[in-house]
Amino acid sequence: MRTLTLVRSGIATSVQDAGRTGRQHNGVPPGGAMDEFALRMGQHQLGHRADEAALEFVYGSLAFTTSAPCRFIVTGAPAIITIDGTKTNSGQVRETQAHPMVNIKPIGQGVYSYLHVTGGIDTPICLGSRSTSPRERLGGLNGQYLCDGDVLPLGPERTRSEPSYPVTSNISAPETLLLRFIPGFQFDLFRVETRHHVESQLFSVTPRANRMGITLDGNPIETGVASLLSEATCYGAIQIPPDGKPIILLNDRQTVGGYPKAGAVIRGDCRRLVQSQPGQRVQFVAITPQEADRIAWLEHHYLETKLA
Partner 1 sequence: MEFTVDPAGDLGFRLAFSTTPEPSLTYGLLVIQSAARLQFNDALADSIVGYTTLTLLFRPMTLERERVHCWLEEQAQRISDPADIPDPAHKTVTLPVLYHSSVAPDLEWLAEDKGLTVDGVIKLHSENSYFAYATGFAPGFCYLGTVDERLAAPRLRTPRAKVPAGAVAIADRQTAVYPCSSPGGWRLIGACPTPLFALEADPAALLSVGDTVKFEPISIADFKNMQCDQRKP
Residue 267 within binding range of partner 1, rule CB under 8 A? yes
Nearest approach, Cβ of residue 187 and partner 1 (Å)? 9
Instruction: Using the minimum distance from each CB to partner 1, give the nearer residue, 191 or 294.
Output: 294
Q: Which window, 45-53, 109-117, 170-178, 232-240, contacts partner 1 (CB under 8 A)?
A: 232-240
C-alpha span between 130 and 63 (Å, rounded)? 21
Rounded-to-integer distance, Cα 107 and Cα 79, Å: 5
| Binder of partner 1 out of 8, 27, 142, 207 (CB under 8 A) | 27
Using the rule CB under 8 A, which residue among 69, 184, 220, 241 binds partner 1? 184
Amino acid at 40: R
| Span near partner 1 by CB under 8 A; candidates 94-102, 146-154, 224-232, 240-248 | 224-232
Q: Shortest distance, CB of residue 130 to partner 1, whole angstroms? A: 14
Say what angle helices 267-274 and 36-45 make with each other, to 10 degrees: 80
Helix (H) or strand (E) holding 291: helix 289-306
Sign of dihedral through CA atoms 218, 220, 221, 225?
positive
Site string (98-137) toward partner 1, x via CB under 8 A = ----------------------------xx-------xxx
Q: Does 281 bind partner 1 (CB under 8 A)?
A: no
Tell me: does residue 185 bind partner 1 (CB under 8 A): yes
| Distance (Å, whole) CA 143 – CA 150 | 13
CA distance 69 to 160: 13
Q: How far is CA 118 from CA 13, 95, 156, 194, 274, in A?
A: 18, 10, 8, 50, 26
Q: Using CB under 8 A, which residues numbered 42 to 71 contact partner 1? A: none
Binding site for partner 1 (CB under 8 A): 21-28, 30, 126-127, 135-138, 182, 184-185, 229-232, 234-237, 254-257, 263-267, 289-290, 292-293, 296-297, 300
